[in-house]
Amino acid sequence: MNSELLMDLKTRLHEAKHAVFFGGAGMSTASGIPDFRGSQGLYTTSRESSPEYLLSVTCLRREPQRFFDYYRSAILYHDAAPNAAHRALAKLEKDGVLKALITQNIDGLHQAGGSRRVLELHGSVARAYCAKCGKEIDSDVIAEEKSVPRCPDCGGVVRPDVVLYGEYLPEDVFEDAVREIGEADFLLVGGSSLTVQPAASLVESFIRRDAGPLAILNKTPTDYDAWADFLVRDPVEEVLPILAGE
C-alpha cells in the first residue's frame, strides 16, 4: 500500500466541495457477497442457463418459478452485513466530504452502513412490488415463499424492485445520478470494473467535463484507468477507512 499516494488522495478528497462516490460489486465482497465476474461469481459458477437469462424479465414472465428459485439461491444473502468500506463512506458523508453515493449494488448495505444519500441505479432487494397492480409488498415474502410470491390484493406476481436483464434503469434515479456527476468536482470510484452500461457512462461524463480529480480504487484494471489521477489496487475495505480518517 502506497502511504504517500493515499495521503495525497485523502487531502484532495477532503478539499473537494462536491465529492461523489460511484461503486460496484467489489464494495460488498468483504461482506461475503461475491461479484458477478469473480472466481465465485455468477458468471463462473452458474451451471444451468446463463445468469443473464435467469435474472431477466423474460425468465420472470415465462418461467417465474425458475426465476425465483435462482434469485433466492444466487442473489439473496441474508447474513451479509456492512463492512469497513461501507462504514467509511457513511463517515465521509456525515463529515460533509461526500455529497452523494451512486451504487450499482442491490444489497442495501450502504444504507445499513449508515449512508443516507444513496442513489441505487439497479434497485434494491430490500423492496418489492406487485408486477400487476403496483402495490408495494414486504420483500420478505420473496425470501420466505417456496413458490412464486403473489399479491394479496390482486394475485399478481410479487417481484423484487431490482433492474433485471432486459429492463431500463429507473429514469428518476439515473437523472439524479447525472445531476450529481454534473456537479461533482471529485469522483471516487470503488469496487467497480466499470463495464456495465449505462452506469459506466456516468464516469465517462465526469472525465469529459474535466471537472476535478478521478480516483479509481479497484483490484483489477478498468477501461478508464488512463484518465485516473489516483489509481489504487488495494482492497476498498482497507483503503476507504484511511480516506475517512478512521
Q: With contact defined as beta carbons under 8 Å apart, do 187 and 22 qualify?
A: yes
CA-CA distance, 111 to 107, in Å (whole number)? 9
pLDDT of residue 78: 86
Instruction: Residue 174: give its domain's CATH number.
Output: 3.40.50.1220
Q: What tens digit of pLDDT does each residue of 6-30 get? A: 999 999 999 999 999 999 999 999 9
CA-CA distance, 30 to 79, in Å (whole number)? 12
Packed helices 236-243 and 3-15: angle between N→C axes, nearest 10 degrees: 50
- φ/ψ of 238, rounded to 5, equals -100, -35
Q: Provide the residue range defining the domain that includes 224.
A: 1-32+81-122+168-246
Strand order in the sheet with 118-120: 118-120, 98-103, 19-23, 186-190, 214-217, 230-232
CA-CA distance, 173 to 199, in Å (whole number)? 11
How far is C-alpha 219 from the chain's CA centre?
16
How many domains does the chain divide into? Answer: 1
pLDDT of residue 202: 96
In a domain, 227, yes or no: yes
**Spatial CA neighbour of 110 closest among 42, 27, 181:** 27
The residue from 14, 78, 110, 122 that is catalytic is 122
Q: Is 86 known to be catalytic? A: no
pLDDT of residue 49: 77
CA-CA distance, 246 to 239, in Å (whole number)? 10
pLDDT in tens, the chain (246 residues): 789 999 999 999 999 999 999 999 999 999 999 876 555 555 555 556 798 999 999 999 999 999 999 999 999 998 899 999 999 999 999 999 999 999 999 999 999 999 999 999 999 999 999 999 999 999 999 999 999 999 999 999 999 999 999 999 999 999 999 999 999 999 999 999 999 999 999 999 999 999 999 999 999 999 999 999 999 999 999 999 999 997
pLDDT of residue 79: 87
In a domain, 134, yes or no: no
The bridge status of strand 98-103 relative to strand 19-23 is: parallel
203: left (phi over 0), alpha (psi -120 to 50) or beta: alpha
Q: What sign for the dihedral angle of Cα 11, 14, 17, 21?
A: positive
Cis-peptide into 221, omega within 30 deg: no
CA-CA distance, 181 to 186, in Å (whole number)? 9
In a domain, 243, yes or no: yes
In a domain, 190, yes or no: yes
DSSP 3-state percent helix, strand, coil across the chain (nearest 5)? 40, 20, 40
In a domain, 101, yes or no: yes
The pTM for the full model equals: 0.91
DSSP label at 153? T
pLDDT of residue 43: 52
